[in-house]
Homo-oligomer: A and B are copies of this chain.
Amino acid sequence: MTNAYGYLGPAGTFCHEALLTVPDLPGHLRPYPSVVAALDAVRKDQIDAALVPIENNIEGGVSATLDNLTYGETLMIRSEVLLPVEFNLYVRPGTALSDVTRIVTHPHAYAQCREWVQTNLPGATVSEGGSTAAGAAEIADPNSRYHATICSQAAGELHDLEAVATAIADNKQAVTRFILVTKPGPPPERTGADKTTLVVFLRDDEAGALLRMLEQFASRGVNLSRIESRPSRLVRGHYSFSIDAEGHINDHRVAGALKGLKRTSRDVIFLGSYPRANGFRPQVPEGQSDDSYHAAEAWLKDLRQR
Contacts and interface: CB of A to CB of B under 8 A. Distances in A.
Interface stretch (A42-50, A157-165, A182-190): A182-190
Interface in A172-190: 173, 175, 184-187
A212 B206 CA distance: 14
Interface residues of A, number: 84
Copies of this chain, complex-wide, total 4
A56 interface: yes
A285 to B, nearest CB: 7
A35 interface: yes
A8 to B, nearest CB: 8
Given A229-B228, A300-B259, A214 B211 contact: yes
The list of the 6 closest CB pairs from A to B, nearest first, reads A128-B130, A34-B111, A263-B287, A259-B296, A262-B296, A264-B287
Given A107-B130, A259-B296, 20 more contacts: A37-B114, A60-B60, A128-B134, A184-B306, A205-B223, A206-B223, A207-B217, A207-B221, A210-B218, A210-B224, A211-B215, A215-B215, A215-B219, A228-B229, A249-B303, A259-B299, A262-B299, A262-B300, A263-B288, A264-B287
B214 A214 contact: yes
B306 A108 contact: no
A130 B114 contact: no
Which of A131, A173, A222, A299 is packed against the most chain B CB atoms within 10 Å? A299
Contacts of A296: 258-260, 262-263
A199 to B, nearest CB: 13
Interface string A222-262: 11111111010100100100000000011000010011101
Contacts of A292: 263
A259 B295 CA distance: 9
B233 A171 contact: yes
B300 A33 contact: no
Contacts of A221: 207
Given A287-B263, A306-B185, A210 B222 contact: no
Which of A128, A292, A293 has most chain B Cβ within 10 Å? A128
Nearest to A291: B263
